[in-house]
Every structure is written in C-alpha cells, then in structure tokens.
Structure 1
C-alpha cells in the first residue's frame, strides 16, 4: 500500500494502473490536435464557441488555454467528434476564486444512428418455450465487449494491448491497432516523438477439451482491460431530472451570441507543447515520500525522564499530514514528468480530502476501501455535478497535475508576462464530462458545452 495511506489496498500500487499519462513534447508532431498552451483550435473554424465561454467568471476578461485534447471515443461515442479544453485566468486578483478556471467540450455529430425497430410482443407461452430452450443449450454465451481493451488499443481477437499503441500519436500503427481518444483519425500519419507507449502483457485465451455434454472456454483478460472494464460496468441508474433547472444549449439561443474574442484581446499565451503518452507503471517505493518543501527535525531532544522526543515529533507530524496529499505526491513521484492523467470513467487522484472538491469526491465507503479506491465512486451521480444541459450524470475523464505548471510557466517572462500575472497555484484540475456526450443532434453541427472543472488549490502549509 502507499505510504501514509492505510485506507488503500496494494492493488493500485504496483504494475499497470490503466491510467494514461501525458508528457510535454517539444518536437512538432504533424496534424496533432492535443497540446498544452498555445491557442485553441476548433472543430469548425467558422463556428468557434460563444464569446462568454472565453471569459473568466470573476473579472470577465479573456482567459488563457491550458490544454486542448483530442477526445474522440469510438467505442463509447462512435458517431461523435470531441475536443476538450481547459482555460485559466492568469490575473492575480482572480487567483483561487471559483470561475477563474473553466472547461469546455466541443462535439460534432458525424452520423445519426437510426433507432432500432421494435420487436413484436410475444405470448407468455412463447417466452417460456424460448427460455427453456436457452437453458438446454450447452454452448457458453458470447463474451462481452471489452471496453477497456478497445479504448486502450488491444486487438479484439487476441485481447492483448498493442505494444505500439500511443494515444497521442498519429502513426499508422496507432490508427490501425487502437481506438484511442487522442489520435486524429483524419490526420496524415506522422512519427511520435518522446516516450513510446509501454507494452502491456498480453493474455492468450485457452480452451479446455470438448466433451459430448459441455464446452468450457476460459479467457484470461489482461490486467489493463479487466480493471477498466470492471470500473466501466459499475454504474447507478440516474435519478429523475424533472426537478433540475437545465440550461438551454448555446446553439439554441434565440439571438446571436457574443463572438469569440480576437487574439489581440487575450494576454500572451503560454508556450505550446505537444503531448506524448505511456501507460502508468508503478513500483513499490522503498521509503515514504515527504514533500521537498517540508523538513523534519530529527534532532534527539530529551523529554521528561530522559526519553527522546525526536521520533515522537515525527510521528505527530505524519499523523497530522493529509493522507491524500502524501499519496498524491508519492504517486506522481514515480513518473515525475507527467502533466496529464487520463482514464475515461475512471477515478481521479485527489490532491486533498479536506477541501471542497476533496469532500465532494472522496468516497469513504467500505466498498471503496476494499477496491483500494480512495477517490470518487465511479458512476456515482451524487458526487460530480450533473450535466446542466441534459441532466445526465458526469464522469471523470482526465486531470492536469502540477508539472504542467512548470512546463507552461517556463520562460513565461520572455513572452510578455503581465505585471498582474501571479502564476498558477492549483494542485490539480479534475475534468468531469457528460456521460452521454450531449450535443447537437444534426449531422455536422458543432456544439459547445461547459463541463465541470474541479480545482484543488495548493495549500500554503504544504
């Protein structure tokens, strides 16, 4: 188990966690959409978002782009193009205030799925006969679709994850071997720089001999697929949306919306970096990780009766330290260059359990502790706020982590840093998106939705 975290099991602390880690890359990647900093690009240049989405809710001034992510999910939303954006206000007066960091999702329907024809109602006797026939069959049911394997690029025939699968790459191997959320299916192939995706051990289906009565097939799923698919299946039926005050979609506005501001209206953008990716691989740390800015005085101080107080002070400090923060820093310390953690319908890594976002998402239930998940309960509609446009539940998609700040702010003073630019002070930004990917129903129409950005701010004491 992670040091300082007796609430989590060891299941997440070694090996492949199923989380995709994003890394900043200096090299130009041809036809790549996903990037840190720079200027946003749109699904349709002629249809940018309404101008109000560009503005900080505190000062009403244009914000800067932190990240744009290519978010196509062919297995979940096969007919949708998706892009995700997080913007932040750099002004000192807006720091740490709600609305100074906002998230957007762009969606365009490529095809309208035709409704399935209704089946004719059967008589009770026919239903009973069919049920009896099914019970008499000896063949096992067909295996369910492996959502995790599909999302992360494994073959549907072998159930193994491709060693060359890289969700931030537009290489031919990535396009042909995996259905990933970051590769542009319409872009020309280009080599991917930086870190290549780590291979995930494959599992080969094995079958037992066939007899005259039964046939049994045993399939060993790979760790990544099994873990992700299990999490995807954990869901709760959504409550009624009758009492929700839903917002009208921007494209349904009766009058013209404010235009997206011109580039000259924005502060100097952050330097643009492209993204590379690999699966998160963990090894058990040999010693607990204490943040660099925290020191413990190990001087042996004599207490009453000649006893040493050094160990006592250390124990007191550790018991009072936020478990979530220690777990957060220890986890990131194993892959310190990561700027992004991606796992659609997964669970975020919380920076704190005690701030407003931590209190909302932290799952203290015994079931969560048994799974080793000290964060949001997947599919629990009571934790991440519901979509304000359609009333559906929201699910976790990705989060930015502190190394992104170091990357984006490096050399910032050389590009016209404003005097009131205080620098970023967040610990993590968690993106929750509509589980139904709501948007315009018409083919080719681009729609924008503001999504939930859960910001956990740095705490000075840490």
Structure 2
C-alpha cells in the first residue's frame, strides 16, 4: 500500500513491521482523566472564565443560532510560543437545513499572552513614534514567522513540548496531559502555563512528553512578506449566549492520545507447488475484470487512502500535528483541490499551508493543526436521539473537519488578557452516491 503525502510524519520511527509517525491521535474515553481542559462534546470552558469569547462566534453563519461544541483542545506550544496559553474550539450547527453550508462549522482560538515578544515590543514602540510628527516616517518592518517542520525522531535532537500540555505554576516544569507516562491511558492534570525566565528554562528538566518525540528542523526565515498588523476590533461586544440558548450539548468525552502507528504490509510467500495465472488465462473472468476496473475508477483514490490510513487506528476521533499535513477525505471537492499538494512551474510542490487563507488579523500564513475524523460522529451522536433535541436537527454529514491556525499565534497586544480569533475551517462533506 502506498502511504504517501496525504499525511505527514511517515517513516519517523521504523521498527520491524510497523511505522510510528509524528501525528498524534486522539481517542474518546468515558473514564474521567486528570486532563480537565481537552474534551469532545460537552460545554466549553474558557482560559479566563471572566472573559468569554464575543457572542457572535457562537452562532451559525447560516441560521444565526448558537451551536454546540464538538471539540475543546488545550493547544499550548511552550517551545514555539513559550509565554502564551492557547486553546482551540470547534462548534457545529445541528440544523438539518444548515448541513453543507458555509459557516455552519466554525473554529475558535483563545490566547493569553503572559509576556510580549521582542518583536511585539518593537512594533508598539514604532506605533508610538508614529504619533509624533517626523519629516520622513520609516515604514514598519516585521520579521516573518520562522518555518520549521517535523523530521524523523531522534532522542538527542532538539525537542518541542506537547501542544496539548500546560505547565505547572508551582514547579515550573512542563508536563503533557497526552504524554504516555506511567500508562498510555493516563493524562496529566496541570494548572495553566505560567511564564518562566530563560535561566529557569535552562535548569529545568522535561518529562517524557510529546516534545521528546518530535524533532524540529533548524529554523529558517519565512519567504512570505512581512505581516501587516490590523487594529483590534472596537465597539460593543455581543455577550456569549446563555446555556439555555444552545441546543442540548453532545455527550462529554475525555480525551486520550498516542502516536500513530502504521503496520507495514508484508509480501506473501507463494508455495513452490502453486502456479499463479492471470485473468487472460481464463476468458470467463474477463467480465469480472471489467467490472473491477469500472468500480475502482468510480472511487476517489484519495478516499481509499483516507479510509485505509484511518483503518490502522479505527477509533481515532482527531489527528494533531502543528505545521503538519492534513489527511484529505477527497481531492476533488473545493477543500481537497485547495489543500492537495500541487507542482508549480518550477516543479516545486506547494504545501497545504501555503494555500490556506492568511490570518485576517495579522496577515501571517496559516498552518494545519488539527482535524476531526468520522469516528467522532459515531461517538458524539450515540444516544443523542433521546435527549429532547429539536425535530429539525439532522445528523452530521462531514467526512473531516480541518482547522488551519495563525502561524504567529496572534492575540491581544496586552499582557495577561485573553484574545479571541476565529480560525480557518475546511470541511470535507460526505460523498452522496447515487444508485
């Protein structure tokens, strides 16, 4: 089987008959874990309970009704954004009439910056200087976000902390709620991440975590143009709707995670006393061969790769890899055509990240971070018909939900305050096949 570029991280760790990739898989669990942030379904919680998102983020862009939560994920990246707390959310409308409509599934990123970066401080200083009259104002120059990718694992290489982890306020050490510590099914409960001094970071030791299994390539300057800052939105903010305004929530599931492993197909041995014939040897099989060719030509090959890849871990509900490559349900729909690798005039492949719409606030590129896959529908909709939902509620019809996020993790330019950003969502809907 050809496991090619539909998802990144292949051949990171080849051991015998299986391959471990750099893609982190999430699994829904009934049993309570120590991680109180990441979950499937249920009610959302906020980085700061006193600062919920603007209420318009809760509403479907088609019917304007509040939408229930599909996923809440602790997405801290201490090595990439050491002073930022960041959580991700996915909401989806339950109305049957909104299925397949733009804006019926939305993604939200909450970020709290505990310390402004040096670039941010320079930008603020330049903004103040612009208020004073000068003969020849100097255009603002910003350094683009550095690009780094995931390469084959190496325990001695520089590592990145788990994007699902938080840091302990009492000890300052990093811990990963998705790390495989004493048990693969145990997640660590950690208070929100706090900033630490550079000297402290050099002295502390990292536990076995997501970071210890991901190797980062050396940073290189981005070829994209410098980002252009957009002023923060002003004016009255619509409050987040009351719980009574929402449809009944999906059942709350805790999340466990482990790295994806793919079994490597073996070449079967043919006994010496067995002869292998071809379809040409048997004229009666010609019709079967023609039917087989017709069947295979009618199926999107990308869907076959999608379903085969998921089949290695059929109970996965999400796939996570910051700056990774999404696993495409199809390459023939609008999202598939946008994100599938393409070859330019110089025979250079254009990545999915380069094709995602840029951040609407800071103009930086967006990169893939997480996607929901079909088994999430199975667990979320199980038993939902018995909780008094509306008659117009329909089942979910998506094949995968792909979320692209701002590569620079932009937020409010004020320390300690939570900022909210809507992120790009690429929804690949289920194929409707006629008779």
Preserved contact between residue 234 and residue 378 of structure 1 (Cα < 8 Å) = no
Equivalence for 2:309: 331
Match of 2:403 among 431, 435, 456: 431
- The aligned counterpart of 2:243 is 263
* Aligned residue in 2 for 1:292: none
SS where residue 53 of structure 1 aligns? Answer: helix
**How large is the Cα RMSD of the aligned pairs?**
4.2
Partner deviation per Cα, 1:38-86 (whole Å, 9 max, x = no partner): 0100111111111100000000000010000001100110010100000
Number of the residue aligned with 2:185: 194
Q: TM-score, normalised by structure 1?
A: 0.69
What SS does the aligned partner of 2:377 have?
helix
Is the 2:25–2:259 Cα contact (8 Å) retained in structure 1? yes
* Structure-2 residue corresponding to 1:283: 263
**Greater CA deviation, 272-281 or 312-321?**
312-321
Could you tell me which residue of structure 2 aligns to residue 68 of structure 1?
72
The yes-or-no answer on 1:377 pairing with 2:351 is yes
Q: Distance between the aligned counterparts of 1:7 and 1:369, measured in 2? A: 19
> What residue ranges of structure 2 are gaps of 5+ in the alignment?
123-147, 189-210, 268-278
Stretches of structure 1 lacking an aligned partner (at least 5 in a row): 119-145, 185-189, 198-223, 288-300
- The offset of 1:284, in angstroms, is 2.4
Q: Distance in 2 between matches of 1:43 and 1:307?
A: 64
- Contact 2:373–2:400, Cα closer than 8 Å, also in 1: yes
* Paired residues of 1:332 and 1:338 also in contact (CA < 8 A): yes
Kept in 2, the 8 Å contact 1:235–1:378? The answer is no
Q: What's the offset of the Cα at 1:458?
A: 0.4
* Distance of 1:6 and 1:248 partners within structure 2: 38
Where does 1:70-109 land on structure 2 (aligned, <5 Å)?
70-109=74-113
In structure 2, the partner of 1:217 is: none
Alignment of 1:124-273 (within 5 A): 158-159=156-157, 180=176, 194=185, 229-230=216-217, 236-239=222-225, 248-249=231-232, 252-253=233-234, 255-273=235-253
Q: 1:111 maps to which residue?
A: 115
User: Does residue 440 in structure 1 map to residue 409 in structure 2?
Assistant: no
Q: Is the 8 A contact 2:40 2:70 kept in 1?
A: yes
Contact 1:63 1:267 in 2 (8 A): yes
TM-superposed deviation, 1:444:
1.0
The answer on 1:321 being equivalent to 2:293 is no
Which residue does 1:2 correspond to in 2? 2
Deviation at 1:416, TM superposition (A): 1.8
Q: How much has 1:30 moved relative to structure 2?
A: 3.2
The SS at the match of 1:309 is: helix
- Mapped contact 1:169–1:276 kept (Cα < 8 A): no
CA distance in 2: counterparts of 1:281 and 1:389, whole angstroms: 37
For the structure 1 residues 389 and 115, does the alpha-carbon distance in structure 2 shift closer, same or farther, using more than 3 Å as the test?
closer
Q: In structure 1, what is the Cα distance between the partners aligned to 2:352 and 2:401? A: 18
C-alpha distance in 1 between matches for 2:116 and 2:167: 29
Find the aligned partners of 1:325 and 1:458 in 2 and give their Cα distance. Answer: 10
* Alpha-carbon distance, 1:2 to partner: 2.4
1:412-437 CA-partner distances (Å, limit 9, x unpaired): 11222221111101000001000000
